[in-house]
């Protein structure tokens, strides 16, 4: 009787399992690179290469110093598919080192035959070798990624490409004759010394308007930076989070407060500099 009872309990448990099956959940897909991620990789990078991996060799820890936790360093042999940016000589065969995260099993991922995009610099006298600009500056290629990257590379290559923002030099807010009317100019410092400025115009019964100028002329008709453009990236990812007190030239406390409020308004309009890469 005892054995039969156990058997019946086992059968009922089996039936319950069939009625309520438990499915293994697939691991969440890693989010792709954002506009800011791609722009950061492309900014100042001498070469951007589309390649296909032919062979990988895992380097032992003693030959791979300074690898981030959870990552492994690979020696890669690849075949060049296209040079997307740059004019340095490059061979049909490529060799380079890259740091990649372990897969879900805690092992080096299998990358053979994968197509990748490399952000790299040339190695003098060795057209068959490149050095990645960052240890992990390799992305898996896809048509969607290629289309997303194309306008970014074109924007950096343009002669009027906006420079990197390094800070805020001056801020000045002038009240108008009517209540709620003001004009604010915020002058920016850039990596190459070229001028850049923000203008914020407020008029009664109208939504505030802001714009950015990349010339010495501060134009009130300047337009806002469009999302996911190089102008947006320079501002959203380069402006300090608050207006420095040292930059505010206004003597009247109300004008200083207006300049600070207008600066916060611009930051809110730009939105966060979102990144999915470390």
pLDDT digits (tens, 9 = 90+) for 32-68: 899 999 999 999 999 999 999 999 999 999 999 999 9
Run of H or E including 104: none
Minimal CA–CA distance to 269: which of 238, 231, 226?
Answer: 226
Q: How far is CA 268 from CA 181, 200, 210, 236, 261, in A?
A: 20, 13, 11, 9, 11
pLDDT reported for residue 5? 44
Would you kindly state where each structural domain of the chain is located, as residue ranges? Answer: 35-157, 165-270
Minimal CA–CA distance to 85: which of 125, 37, 133?
Answer: 133
pLDDT reported for residue 124? 93
Q: 35-157 in CATH: which number?
A: 2.40.50.120
Structure-token match 């791979």, residue found: 64
Q: How many CB atoms within 10 Å of residue 5? A: 9
Stated pTM of the model: 0.84
What residues does 120 pair with on adjacent strands?
47, 132
pLDDT reported for residue 219? 67
Per-residue pLDDT of the chain (278 residues; tens, 9 = 90+): 444 443 333 334 333 333 443 333 434 456 889 999 999 999 999 999 999 999 999 999 999 999 999 999 999 999 999 999 998 899 999 999 999 999 999 999 999 999 999 999 999 999 999 999 999 999 999 999 999 999 999 999 999 899 999 999 999 999 988 888 999 999 999 999 999 999 999 999 999 999 999 987 776 678 999 999 999 999 999 999 999 888 777 668 888 899 999 999 999 999 999 999 87
Distance CA 144, CA 116 (A): 13
SS3 94: strand
Distance CA 104, CA 86 (A): 35
CA-based max dimension of the chain = 99
SS3 151: helix
Q: Which tokens in the block code for residue 25?
A: 């959940």
Q: Which tokens in the block code for residue 139?
A: 């992305």
Catalogue the E-assigned strands of 126-234: 126-132, 138-140, 165-175, 182-190, 196-202, 209-213
Run of H or E including 235: helix 230-236
Straight-line distance from the first to the last Cα atom of the chain, in angstroms, rounded to the nearest whole number: 63
pLDDT reported for residue 220? 65
Distance CA 55, CA 58 (A): 10
């Amino acid at each position: 009787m005892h054995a039969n009872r156990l058997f019946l309990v086992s059968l009922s448990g089996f039936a319950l399992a069939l009625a309520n099956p438990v499915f293994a959940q697939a691991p969440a897909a890693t989010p792709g690179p954002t506009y800011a991620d791609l722009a950061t990789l492309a900014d100042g990078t001498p070469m951007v290469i589309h390649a296909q991996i032919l062979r990988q060799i895992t380097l032992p820890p003693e030959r791979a110093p300074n690898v981030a936790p959870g990552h492994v360093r690979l020696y890669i042999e690849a075949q060049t598919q296209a040079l997307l940016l740059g004019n340095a000589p490059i061979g049909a065969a490529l060799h380079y080192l890259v740091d990649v995260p372990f897969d879900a099993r805690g092992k080096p991922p299998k990358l053979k035959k994968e197509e990748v995009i490399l952000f790299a610099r040339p190695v003098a006298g060795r057209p068959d070798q490149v050095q990645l600009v960052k240890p992990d500056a390799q992305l898996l290629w896809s048509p969607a990624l290629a289309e997303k990257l194309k306008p970014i590379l074109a924007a950096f290559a343009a002669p009027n490409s906006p420079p990197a923002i390094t800070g805020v030099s001056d801020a000045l807010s002038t009240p108008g004759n009517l209540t709620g009317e003001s004009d604010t100019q915020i002058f920016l410092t850039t990596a190459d010394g070229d001028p850049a400025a923000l203008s914020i115009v407020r008029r009664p019964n109208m939504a505030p308007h802001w714009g950015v100028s990349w010339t010495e002329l501060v134009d009130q008709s300047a337009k806002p930076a469009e999302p996911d453009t190089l102008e947006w990236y320079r501002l959203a990812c380069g402006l300090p989070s608050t207006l420095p007190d040292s930059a505010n030239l206004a003597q009247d406390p109300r004008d200083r407060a207006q300049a600070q409020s207008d600066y916060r308004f611009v930051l809110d309009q730009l939105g966060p500099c979102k990144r999915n890469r470390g």
